[in-house]
Structure 1
Amino acid sequence: MKKYLLLFSVLSILLTGCSSKFAYNNIDWLMYWYIDDYVELDKRQKSLLDGHVDQWMTWHRQEELSEYKAQLEHIKWQLSQETISAQQWGQQFDNAKLHWVRVRDHVSPELAHLAPHLSDEQVNTMFAELEKQNQKRIEKHQRKNFEQRLTENIKDTQENAREFIGKLSPEQKNIIVTYTDKFQSSFDLWMTYRQRIQQAAHGMLLKERSKPDFAQKFLTLLTHPEAYQDEGLALVSAHNNQVYAAMLAALTTSLSPKQKRKAMDELQDIIDDISDLQED
């Protein structure tokens, strides 16, 4: 929920503040730092990846940042028109998802061609670490009961709203409590999906990466992940998006003039950060 309330349409790197702009401009070595948590690449593999990363970042800076900026400017304009309806927020959610889909579809063909360069040992190490992370998530989830998770979600959502619009009124706190209680848990369905697609990718990399049709099959896996989802996950996600859009609409309607100015300033700060990145 944080990504929608605070930054909303900026789906790649958080673009608030100098440290985040620094992260965007140094995504290549940050990416390797992240990858090292899962698999150690040799010099040849890093060299192959380097060229692709440079191309991806050039494309992203030239093509995608303008898309993020345009959506944020549209949200800011809508906010200036007194209210944003649940339907309008839902459309913004759909637009935000398209940002991720474009990035995924742009990098996936090259990832599919790079994947066969991993050794069996690297593949097994990577997926063992992924499963280790899965189990950590499951254990963390199970340490709290429903009431504890609900209380934590309410607290987090109120804090996120406070960062974006300032001090919350009792009415606004109650809006968040009311709508947060309507969310349906997707954790079990999401973990099942996550493990299913990881198992499919693991098996494909071990058994099929030397076959002529591997690149196309792996590309299909990367660009059509919904094939590994249960229908229930899609239904719960759609329900939660509707609830979240309704909550944002209610919060938008409740804004005081001071809160609206702060929200507009926050959006403009992100827009300015994107403009700076485009000029770098």
Structure 2
Amino acid sequence: MKKFNTCIVVAFALLLAACSSLRLAYNNGDTLLYWWLDAYIDFDSEQKAEVKQDIDDLFRWHRKTQLQDYAQVLQHAQQQLKGNPTPADLLADYQDVRRRTQALLTKAAPDIAELALSLKPEQLEQMEKKFTKNNSKFRRENMRGDAEEQNKFRYKKSMEQFELWFGGFSREQEAAIRRASDARPLDNGLWLDERMRRQRNILSLARRIMQEKPSKEVAVGWINDLIRQSFERMDQGQRKPFFDTYTNSTVELVHTVIRISTPQQKEHAQKRMAGWIKDFSTLAAEQR
């Protein structure tokens, strides 16, 4: 059986964080992904070899079918950076990434169903413990101190990404970015509640599949329903105004960074993207 195509989203995020080591990280991504999964599920001796083989198959598929698409996304970003992208342009980019993510999850639903049908009660307990541990880390990092301290932490996390793309910023630029960062609504309690809700829904569905042992086709339908509901939640319901405001203010933050960037900083971002485009193209061409 094949397992967890969705985890490529996590693996890809790790690759981007690897910066200039993207090719090295991707070529070791099968091991990273296995460790990540095992931390949540704690595979038994019967599952380990099969999971590793499934991950190898996943990376071969991803290398062949997805990496050139990533290169095209970055090429589009390069063209935007040469001009003056508007907030509407950046919002469209966000919506595009969101659609791609949902499509990938939907494609993975049959594989997720097979994994869910193979889980054991103790593995669900391990997943629940891992969720609890992650939530404790979220509280320590994001909910420490008053609003000023939480805003400062959020700003620093954003700056790590902006500096990756654009290099260093002047004090004047940092002040402008900090103002745009702080303009985003701050409610870490809401974000924690949302992540815990998603975790409960995942565990609830996994327990239902374990108890009822439906056919694979029925399990796929349940999983697709959960995927759709998770994405629709941001577009409807009582918290939609908050989600809309947060998305628009985050887009404005990114727009501020691009707008105040110097030609040298934009050139830094262009070179960064060019390097990743080359890496993606090279990786896609390699046979493993």
- Fold equivalence (TM over 0.5): yes
Question: 5 Å matches for 1:198-217?
Answer: 198-209=199-210, 210-212=213-215, 213-217=218-222
The residue that corresponds to 1:58 in the other structure is 60
Judge which range, 45-54 or 148-157, deviates more: 45-54
Note if 1:138 corresponds to 2:144: no
Alignment equivalent of 2:230, drawn from 225, 230, 235 = 225
Could you tell me how far 1:172 is from its partner in structure 2?
A: 2.0
Give the distance between the partners of 1:152 and 1:137, measured in 2 at CA.
12
Question: 5 Å matches for 1:1-280?
Answer: 11=13, 13-14=15-16, 17=19, 19-81=21-83, 83-209=84-210, 210-212=213-215, 213-226=218-231, 231-280=237-286
Q: TM-score, normalised by structure 2?
A: 0.81
Identity of aligned residues (%): 22
Report if aligned partners of 1:16, 1:270 keep a CA contact under 8 Å in 2: no
The 3 A distance-change label for structure 1 pair 120 and 18 is same
The residue that corresponds to 2:8 in the other structure is none
Write the deviation string for residues 58-116 of structure 1: whole angstroms up to 9, x where unpaired: 232222212211111111112122x1111111111122223322322222221112212
The 3 A distance-change label for structure 1 pair 232 and 23 is farther
Unaligned ranges ≥5, structure 1: 1-9
Report if aligned partners of 1:76, 1:267 keep a CA contact under 8 Å in 2: yes
Write the deviation string for residues 152-193 of structure 1: whole angstroms up to 9, x where unpaired: 233343454334223323442232122112111243223222
Judge which range, 45-54 or 227-236, deviates more: 227-236
Give the distance between the partners of 2:143 and 2:19, measured in 1 at CA.
35
Could you tell me how far 1:129 is from its partner in structure 2?
A: 2.2
The 3 A distance-change label for structure 1 pair 195 and 254 is closer
Could you tell me how far 1:148 is from its partner in structure 2?
A: 0.6
The residue that corresponds to 1:3 in the other structure is none
Report if aligned partners of 2:165, 2:268 keep a CA contact under 8 Å in 1: yes
Write the deviation string for residues 202-258 of structure 1: whole angstroms up to 9, x where unpaired: 233334431343443234324542466783544333322212222332332323222
Task: Classify the secondary structure of the residue corresponding to 2:169.
Answer: coil
Give the distance between the partners of 2:96 and 2:46, measured in 1 at CA.
38
Report if aligned partners of 2:63, 2:284 keep a CA contact under 8 Å in 1: yes
Give the distance between the partners of 1:93 and 1:19, measured in 2 at CA.
25
Judge which range, 133-142 or 90-99, deviates more: 133-142
Amino acid corresponding to residue 66 of structure 1 in structure 2:
Q
Judge which range, 269-278 or 95-104, deviates more: 95-104
Could you tell me how far 1:30 is from its partner in structure 2?
A: 1.4
Amino acid corresponding to residue 271 of structure 1 in structure 2:
I
The 3 A distance-change label for structure 1 pair 264 and 147 is same
The 3 A distance-change label for structure 1 pair 165 and 26 is closer
Amino acid corresponding to residue 28 of structure 1 in structure 2:
D
Report if aligned partners of 1:197, 1:228 keep a CA contact under 8 Å in 2: no
Could you tell me how far 1:124 is from its partner in structure 2?
A: 1.7
Count of residue pairs the alignment pairs up = 270
RMSD of equivalent CA atoms: 2.6
Give the distance between the partners of 1:11 and 1:37, measured in 2 at CA.
17
Give the distance between the partners of 1:170 and 1:273, measured in 2 at CA.
33
